Each structure stands twice: as structure tokens, then as C-alpha cells.
Amino acid sequence: MNSLTILGLETSCDETAAAVVRGFPPGPGAILSNVVFSQTEAHAPYGGVVPEIASRAHLEILDGLIARALKDAAIKLADVDAVAATAGPGLIGGVMVGLTTAKALALSQAKPLIAVNHLAGHALTARLTHGVDFPFLLLLVSGGHCQLLAAAGPEQYRLYGTTMDDAVGEAFDKTAKILGLPYPGGPNVEAHAARGNPRAYSLPRPLLGRAGMDFSFSGLKTAVRQLAAQDEIDVDDACASFQAAAIDILCDRTARALARFRDDFPDAARPTLVVAGGVAANAAIGAALAELAESHGFEIRVPPPRYCTDNAAMIAWAGLERFALGRRDPLEFSPKARWPLDRSDDDGDRGSRQNGA
């Protein structure tokens, strides 16, 4: 098969990104360019993402990033086979900016438009970077999502478990805020945890040992808040204790999903656990999951950290996968604040057990 060249745009939260990838499923693909502008500095004074600020920034800088991505890839817009953009889920103002821009580019060059589910971008990144075959078990962990899914194809996902309250990345960020650490919280909690004692404080592990594969992190976050209310606590130890509890929860739920995956796909030649999303960049979590996967006879694939956090290369590749299936989307395609990965486009706005953005 001839390689496909796809321009991808990502504007679902507080990263503005454009990228060009080339290849063909199952990958690995070639990342010809991947330009990401982080808005961390703009949102830091507020301790979190402000949707209005994010949308305005996307609008102001996306055109320049597209030009740079094409230049870095040494191609012209006319050379791409299609234009892909995140169409949801996410902050609706930001999603609208990226999708509308993609529509204009596609229309101007008579190129197909590919509307991409942001979660599929994360899910398929391991095919871009490692050429992982279907089926595989996916643990998607980010600021807005914590899910276990069986991926049987680019558009075939079976939900095993999801968070009942907070996503794990949200719990990391809120813990950082409770402990007075700067935004973004996740990396700062990880850094402090590396210097602390994970057994210093006794923190709860919600749902540990329970049936099912759902997650809960709200009680853990509340326990950190109660701990912080004490007069004397060590921030390094608090971070280490929180992170250890989060790891125990993730491993307990994932272990159940590994067993379920083997039952559902007994003929999988090389059962693989793929860990995706921004929290996948956490080294301690990655090490614990690698040990877990090995103990269950699974391979583990985690994309490089720069492709775990939001970026446009993953959107371009997810668009490439859909394009290779013959998918094309109309210019009337509507942006979606919610778009569950295990449902069709038509069900995307009806909600599910999955978090929205």
C-alpha cells in the first residue's frame, strides 16, 4: 500500500498543535513534524485551564503553527492526502477553532476532512510509535479520562471500566493544588513523590479488591485534603503516599482487565497492554504497570512522553487510520463536547459513563 500523508490539528484543551504524519496502518508511521504550543504559562495564575483563554489562544496561534508544521515537514498543503482535526471531546470553544480551521483548509484544497475523536488519538498512538497490532488492552489515563478498553480496531472499542468520579490526572492536579504546588500539578507531584516516603501516610484505595474494573479517586483526593489540614505534614511524603495509592488503584483495576481481555480474545497472539494519555508519562506509574503486565504475560507499550500528552501527531495518525478505512466526513460535521470512544458518532452527545473533556 502507498503511504498516506495527513495534516493533523489538536485544540481540545490547552495545547495548540499541528503535525504531519506519513505511513499506513498498522504503523509505525513517520512523524514529519509535530509542533506543540503549551498554554501552561497563561493558565498557571488560575491553577487550571480557563476555557475562554484557551480558545482565544488557539485562535491567535493555530495558523502560524500550521505553517510551521508544513515547513518542518518540507511539504505544501496541496501535498497532503487529507486534513484531520480533533472534533471532540474537549472544551467546545477550542474544539470549534481547530475543526473550523481544518474545514477551511480542506475546502480550499479540495481535500477530505477527517473528524477525529481525541480519545482515539491517544488510543492509536502506540500504533504510530510501535506498530501495535489489534486487539490490545488500553488504559487511557489523563486529566479528563481514566478508562480501560479493549481495542479491536480503529473504530471498535469495548469499555471495561471508567472512573466513577475524578480522572486520575485530575486527582494529581487537585492534590498538587491542595499541597500548594504550582500548575501543572501532575509533574510536580511526581517530582516531590520521588523524594518522599510512600508509606509515610495511610491513604485510602477506593474500590481496591472490589469486583469490576471501574475507578474512583474522589475519596483519595478528599483524604489528601484532610491530611493537608494538619499542622505539620511533609509535602514530599504526602505526594509519595498519594502517588502510591493511585498506583495501587490503577494496578488493581488493570489486573482485572488483563484477565478479562484474555477471556475475550483468547486467540490474541501477543496480548499487549497499551498505556496512553498524559498520566502515562509518569515514570513510577509506568514502571508499576510494566511489572504488572509482565506478571500476566502481556507486553506493554507506552508511547514516548512527548506523545502521551496532547499533540497533533496522534490526531493526524488517528485520521490516517480512519482515512485508510475509507472514512470521509462532511464539512457540516459538528464539534462535540462529549464523544464516548465506545459509541458511534450518532451517540456521541448522549453521554455515557465516560467523562466528557
Same domain, 261 and 311: no
Cβ-Cβ contacts under 8 Å for 64 (sequence gap 6 or more) = none
Residue 96 falls within a domain, yes or no? yes
Count how many Cα atoms sit within 13 Å of the Cα of residue 130 in the half-sphere of its side chain. 20
Taking only the tens of pLDDT, the chain with its 357 residues reads: 689 999 999 998 878 999 999 999 999 999 999 999 876 666 666 566 666 677 787 889 999 999 999 999 999 999 999 999 999 998 899 999 999 999 999 999 999 999 999 999 999 999 999 999 999 999 999 888 899 999 999 999 999 999 999 999 999 999 999 999 988 889 999 999 999 999 999 999 999 999 999 999 999 999 999 999 987 899 999 999 999 999 999 999 999 999 999 999 999 878 999 999 989 999 999 999 999 999 999 999 999 999 998 999 999 999 999 999 999 999 999 999 889 988 744 443 333 333 333
| 352 domain-assigned | no
What is the CATH number for 173? 3.30.420.40
Residues 276 and 160 grouped into a single domain = yes
Residues 299 and 312 both lie in one domain: no
Count Cα atoms within 13 angstroms, Cβ side, for 56.
7
Residue 240 lies inside a defined structural domain of this protein: yes
Task: Kindly report, residue by residue over 330-353, the tens digit of the pLDDT.
Answer: 999 999 988 998 874 444 333 333
Question: What angle is formed at CA 193 by the lines to CA 188 and CA 195, rounded to 5 degrees?
Answer: 110
Same domain assignment for residues 116 and 16: yes
Q: Are residues 227 and 322 in the same domain?
A: no
Dihedral sign of CA atoms 335, 338, 339, 345 in order: negative
Q: Measure the CA–CA gap between 146 and 141, rounded to whole angstroms.
A: 5
User: Do 150 and 288 share a domain, yes or no?
Assistant: yes
Identify whether 355 is part of a domain: no
The whole domain housing 206 covers: 135-303
Verify that 280 and 161 share a domain, yes or no.
yes
How many distinct structural domains can be found in the chain?
Answer: 2
Domain final residue, candidates 288, 303, 318: 303
Both 202 and 146 in one domain: the answer is yes
